[in-house]
């Protein structure tokens, strides 16, 4: 199959060419997105029910489930879901609601031999089967085989766990499109959750263009990065936006075939619809955007690194994470401000220019997915 994304030598070549000519990748047309799509509860319901719950969506990195019994429980598309690694090493996912009276059988993350509900202690195996009911004689005739945790489609691929909660199976052809963004040696260092007072699409848009680097990130990213110089690619409904560092200049004397992108640019992979994976010199960050309401989004930030767990490695990871966090504070301010701007009723549409082609790609595909 033809590679859908440029390899390192062609990517570096394209960026150096943009630097030389003061150009950047341009989309085909500008895009107008109705502001109503950021304020309408009906639209959010359609996004959640027709898209987020019906698309194979990265739920967490594989590294968040390092051993048998490791679990991650959280709401995905407003549904409590738990992913757990079984005794056979396979990751499964379930609707996180006890079959007795619905309490979440686990919260947050951890590692257990079995999942025991804290309300009345019904116990489920890591495969979801109901194994034990205290004082079982109180439930005469109850068929335990019919009371297992309710499974949802899940599969582990490319260093991530994908969940597709309202479909029976996960489309493997879709997963084949995805690049290997997480190597097998990547480990999870931190998981941080935040809430932004902004629509999830406004938060997503902030990741997908480099047109704001100088103005928004003047003292954080701009000293190291170019403003408005990006390579923008799409693969299926997903995108990859490359943001070069000034350090890319050191590759000019390197023979083109030997040029490596690692360390000289950040790449943001938008995995449709609501996950971003961003690469940095020491870390790779996976950010899941979970819409809560039309104007509130939870971000789950997983920071992974392949650096060894030594003091020096940890310091480099922490430094990289803090650097990214400083820029993320600025992005958050812009997202929340844009959200407040909706109340002004100044705009009927948001207008995305030719530099913002990955955002156009997102909105086109989201709109089409809602219609199907």
Which residues are at the interface with Fe ion (CB under 5 A)? 331
Q: Which stretch binds ligand FES (CB under 6 A): 50-58, 118-126, 246-254, 281-289?
A: 118-126
Query: Residue 126, class by beta-carbon neighbours within 10 Å (0-12 exposed, 13-18 middle, 19+ buried)?
Result: buried
Give the whole-angstrom CA distance, residue 91 versus residue 127. 9
Select 95 or 201, whichever has its Cβ closest to ligand FES: 95
- Choose, by CB under 6 A, the member of 45, 101, 252, 319 that binds ligand FES: 101
Give the whole-angstrom CA distance, residue 236 versus residue 271. 10
Q: Which stretch binds ligand FES (CB under 6 A): 94-102, 156-164, 280-288, 309-317?
A: 94-102
Residue 325 contact among Fe ion, ligand FES, none, beta carbon within 5 to 8 Å by kind: none
Answer for the pair 369, 53: CB distance below 8 angstroms, yes or no: no
Q: Does 103 bind ligand FES (CB under 6 A)?
A: yes
Residue keyed to tokens 């350090």: 247
Give the whole-angstrom CA distance, residue 49 versus residue 98. 22
Residue 38 contact among Fe ion, ligand FES, none, beta carbon within 5 to 8 Å by kind: none
Q: How far is the CB of 358 from ligand FES (least distance, A)?
A: 44
Structure tokens at 65: 């489930």
Q: How far is the CB of 228 from ligand FES (least distance, A)?
A: 54
Q: Does 94 bind ligand FES (CB under 6 A)?
A: no
Q: For residue 116, what are the β-bridge partners? A: 123
Answer for the pair 163, 56: CB distance below 8 angstroms, yes or no: yes
Q: Does 100 bind ligand FES (CB under 6 A)?
A: yes
Q: Does 119 bind ligand FES (CB under 6 A)?
A: yes
Residue 314 contact among Fe ion, ligand FES, none, beta carbon within 5 to 8 Å by kind: none
Q: Does 122 bind ligand FES (CB under 6 A)?
A: yes
Q: How far is the CB of 40 from ligand FES (least distance, A)?
A: 35
Q: Which stretch binds ligand FES (CB under 6 A): 37-45, 87-95, 96-104, 363-371?
A: 96-104
Q: Does 139 bind ligand FES (CB under 6 A)?
A: no
Q: Which DSSP letter does residue 150 get?
A: P
Q: What is the DSSP string of 266-332?
A: EEEEEETTTEEEEE-SS-EEEEEEEEEETTEEEEEEEEEE-S-SSHHHHHHHHHHHHHHHHHHHHHH
Binding site for ligand FES (CB under 6 A): 98, 100-101, 103, 117, 119-122
């Amino acid at each position: 199959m033809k590679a859908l994304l440029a390899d390192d030598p062609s990517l570096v070549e394209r960026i150096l060419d943009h630097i030389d000519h003061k150009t950047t990748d341009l989309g085909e047309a500008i895009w107008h997105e109705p502001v109503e799509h950021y304020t309408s509860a009906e639209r959010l319901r359609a996004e959640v029910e027709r898209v987020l719950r019906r698309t194979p969506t990265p739920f967490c990195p594989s590294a968040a489930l390092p051993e048998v019994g490791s679990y991650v429980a959280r709401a995905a598309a407003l549904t409590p879901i738990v992913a757990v690694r079984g005794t056979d090493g396979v990751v499964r996912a379930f609707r996180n609601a006890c079959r007795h009276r619905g309490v979440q059988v686990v919260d947050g993350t951890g590692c257990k031999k079995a999942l025991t509900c804290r309300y009345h202690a019904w116990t489920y195996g890591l495969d979801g089967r109901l194994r034990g009911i205290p004082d079982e004689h109180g439930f005469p005739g109850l068929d335990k085989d019919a009371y297992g945790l309710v499974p949802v489609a899940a599969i582990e691929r490319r260093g991530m766990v994908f969940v597709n909660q309202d479909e029976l199976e996960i489309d493997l052809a879709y997963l084949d499109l995805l690049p290997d963004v997480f190597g097998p040696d990547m480990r999870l260092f931190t998981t941080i959750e935040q809430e932004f007072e902004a629509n999830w699409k406004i938060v997503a848009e902030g990741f997908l263009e480099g047109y704001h680097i100088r103005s928004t990130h003047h003292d954080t990213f701009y000293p190291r990065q170019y403003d408005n110089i990006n390579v923008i690619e799409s693969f299926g409904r997903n995108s990859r936006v490359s943001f070069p560092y000034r350090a890319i200049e050191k590759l000019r004397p390197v023979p083109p075939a030997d040029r490596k992108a690692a360390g000289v640019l950040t790449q943001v992979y938008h995995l449709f619809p609501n996950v971003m994976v961003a690469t940095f010199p020491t870390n790779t960050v996976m950010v899941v955007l979970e819409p809560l309401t039309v104007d509130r989004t939870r971000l789950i930030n997983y920071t992974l690194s392949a650096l060894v767990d030594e003091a020096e490695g940890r310091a480099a990871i922490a430094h990289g994470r803090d650097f990214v966090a400083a820029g993320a504070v600025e992005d958050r301010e812009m997202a929340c401000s844009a959200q407040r701007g909706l109340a002004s009723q100044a705009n009927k549409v948001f207008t995305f220019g030719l530099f913002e082609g990955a955002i156009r790609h997102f909105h086109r595909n989201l709109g089409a997915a809602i219609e199907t």
